[in-house]
Amino acid sequence: MNLNNKILIADDIHPIFIEQAEALGYVCDYQPLIKLDGAMQIIGNYAGLVIRSKFNVDRQVMDAGKNLRFVCRAGAGMDNIDEAYAKEKNIILINASEGNMDAVGEHAVGLLLALMHHFTIADAQIRASEWNREANRSYELKGKTIGIIGYGFMGKSFAKKLSGFEVNVIAYDKYKTGFTDQYAREVSMEEIVKHSDVLSLHIPLTAETKGLVNEEYLFHFKKPIFFINTSRGKVAEVRAILNAIKQGKILGAGLDVLETEKFPALAEQEWFEELRQSGKVILTPHVAGWTFDSYRKISEVMAAKLRLVDKE
């Protein structure tokens, strides 16, 4: 049996990946219901693993996968994969940021517009037989300065989607320089803090970014801001966001991700009840990059990158 062409697919993905991978000569074992313990028992028989977020691909998984040559992450973030250990073991890592960047960019714009124009509040009031025009007076996006942290696929997609709104987009990326383009101007973190009317996060979760947005960080912003997070929950402390809302430093927050996600764990957080009742927060369940379109595009991107594996 040739172990060099077998791929374990341990999560739900679009069938186009299987179709294209098999056209390259791979044999795909599609087991979207498999759990970690089951995967650990058989992972040694595969050259590749495809995963979304079902379990962490840590040292134990990679050691058990003694024949692993590559791991495909069906999404953008790689925080559930031990990248350093994969490099040590010469395991190629593939992600698919290009596959859901448009979904994330659109979602971030949607959250921002909904916050600035009170869509959710106004809708709820009318359904409750309230007609409050003055209470729902809103802000216009035109002329505002949008600060973006992280100018990879997601950050650039957000900036591109904003290009028709006549806004000033500035971006900071610790790991890039010279990235000014027609959609955003590269600036320092100091300029982000000084000039932003809107702050949007598009960064991966790493040891450096964990807890980046905390009370101290928000304290330094010169103007009240609208805050958007479609990246990872643990890069922004919810308690700090809620406190900044009470202080008037954050005018509204659109959160697709939270420090703790899914119930019942989410409901057990000390800040959850305040978050739930806040009329200045819009919440979505980590779906910014998860559309019917991105479901297919992510698989297409992974398959395209798989072609490059055999060339290395």
First CA to last CA across the chain, in angstroms?
A: 23
Q: What domains can be seen in the chain, in order of their start residue?
A: 3-95 (3.40.50.720), 100-283 (3.40.50.720)
Q: pLDDT-based confidence at 1, cuts 50/70/90? A: very low
Q: Report how far Cα 46 is from the mean position of its chain's Cα atoms.
A: 28
Q: At residue 236, does pLDDT exceed 70?
A: yes
Q: What is the pLDDT of residues 167-224, one digit of tens each?
A: 999 999 999 999 999 999 999 999 999 999 999 999 999 999 999 999 999 999 999 9
Say how far apart CA 86 and CA 299 lie, in whole Å.
22
Orientation angle between helical segments 97-116 and 119-127, nearest 10 degrees: 60
Decide: 50 and 8 in contact? Cβ < 8 Å.
Answer: yes
Q: At residue 3, does pLDDT exceed 80?
A: no
Average pLDDT over the chain, rounded to an integer: 96
Structure tokens at 86: 């994969």
Q: At residue 307, does pLDDT exceed 90?
A: no
Q: What is the DSSP letter of 144?
A: P
Catalytically active residues are 232, 261, 286
Percent of the chain surpassing pLDDT 70: 98
Q: What is the pLDDT of residues 21-63, one digit of tens each?
A: 999 999 999 999 999 999 999 999 999 999 998 999 999 999 9
* pTM score: 0.93
Sign of CA dihedral 246, 251, 252, 257: negative
Pick from 232, 255, 235: nearest CA to 245 = 255
Pick from 179, 237, 238, 174: nearest CA to 208 = 174
The mean pLDDT of 257-267, rounded to a whole number, is 97
Pick from 8, 161, 142: nearest CA to 74 = 8
CA angle 89, 90, 95 (to 5 degrees): 110
